[in-house]
Amino acid sequence: MGREAVAVVTDSMAYLEAASEPELDVTVVPFNIHIGERTFLDGIDISRDEFFRQMERPGSETSITPPTVEQFEKAYAQVYGRTDQILSIHVSRKISPTLANAQRASDVLLGRCQIVALDSLTTSVALGILASSAARRARQGANLDEVVRLIRGMIPHLYIVSYTSDLNYLERSQHLTKSQAVLGSILGAKPILFLEDGRIMALEKVRTHERAVDKLFEFMAEFSDVAQAAIIQRHTTSTAETRMLLARLQSLFPAVRFPIVQYDPLLATHMGPSAIGVVVHEPEE
């Protein structure tokens, strides 16, 4: 059987800008979204808009679970039909057990197919950047070791910084204690969140949306060069905050595009539906 290039597998928390490079081949294994007693496949049975609408409904029972071992086994079996080299890159294991399921599924093809299951230490647009870069390098003819080396080199240069005004989700996901959440709500605090080493950290708190936007801009201003960037929020249409942020960022980096992207359901379960953030890919040397 003739073998093709390295195959790239990721999960549906990755934001892939398919329209820009439709020829890139990335297999996406969907998360499972649970609304009441019904289960949907993320991006297949349910859109992000519908997910957020359900999440925002009072009393709605909305949760997500990672792709199962069986879902990964099925994806790997399909890919194995054309290659025996697979890079499976996934959302940070510190915020989801997705990677563990991928690793267990890879055991089924042990000895027949070389599968590297890699922790991206990130999610959303940043995970999509890694998956797309891997697929692009594979299309150029790189072997699995070369693709893995490229991605490992990129991971420390990807950043997500955000803020949210909804402290209930931060308490529920144990990023804040109950007393911190109660006090923060009374004071109108908006935590600045940093995805660092795969973990969501609440760094500091500000009182107003304007000051939160200042913090996002100040973070971006620390970079001398930006390879790729995006603004993440609940809607894909700009808000007063994103317009304010975009105007400042475009004056700072006039050559960089800042698409507005809906963040993924996993981030939403940690931060709630009212977060705004920036994703930055800093060029490697």
* Chain region(s) in the chain for CATH 3.30.1180.10: 158-281
CA distance 223 to 219: 8
Per-residue confidence (pLDDT) for residue 165, from 0 to 100: 77
pLDDT, tens only, 17-66: 865 566 788 999 999 999 999 999 999 999 999 999 999 888 778 899 99
| Least confident stretch, 118-127, 130-139, 250-259, 269-278 | 269-278
3-state percent breakdown (helix, strand, coil) of the chain, nearest 5:
40, 25, 35
Supply the CATH classification number for the domain 7-155: 3.40.50.10170
Instruction: Please state, for a pLDDT cut of 90, what percent of the chain lies above it.
Output: 69
For range 214-238, the mean pLDDT: 94
Q: Give me 71's structure tokens.
A: 């879902």
* Cβ-count burial 33-71 (b if 16+ within 10 Å, e if not): bebeeeebebbeebebeebbebbeeeeeebebebbebeb
Per-residue confidence (pLDDT) for residue 2, from 0 to 100: 40
Smallest Cα–Cα separation from 230: which of 151, 140, 161?
161
pLDDT, tens only, 201-225: 887 888 888 999 999 999 999 999 9
CA distance 126 to 279: 7
Give residue 278's identity as a one-letter amino acid code: V
Per-residue confidence (pLDDT) for residue 19, from 0 to 100: 53
Instruction: Please state, for a pLDDT cut of 70, what percent of the chain lies above it.
Output: 89
pLDDT, tens only, 142-152: 999 999 999 99
- Are the CB atoms for 281 and 229 separated by under 8 Å? yes
Q: Give me 203's structure tokens.
A: 């760094």
The answer to whether residue 167 scores a pLDDT higher than 90 is: no
Give 176 or 199, the one with higher predicted confidence.
199
Write out the H or E segment, with its range, that includes residue 256. none
Neighbours of 19 (CB within 10 A): 6
Phi, psi of 34 (to 5 degrees): -110, 125
Per-residue confidence (pLDDT) for residue 169, from 0 to 100: 65
The answer to whether residue 178 scores a pLDDT higher than 90 is: no
* Chain region(s) in the chain for CATH 3.40.50.10170: 7-155
> DSSP alpha helices (H): ranges in the chain?
48-56, 69-80, 98-106, 124-139, 144-154, 167-172, 178-187, 209-221, 240-252, 265-271
Smallest Cα–Cα separation from 217: which of 188, 192, 184, 238?
192
Mean pLDDT score across all residues of the chain: 89
Hey, what CATH topology would domain 158-281 get?
A: Hypothetical Protein Tm841; Chain: A;domain 3 (3.30.1180)
pLDDT, tens only, 74-117: 999 999 988 999 999 999 999 999 999 999 999 988 888 999 99
Give 206 or 276, the one with higher predicted confidence.
276
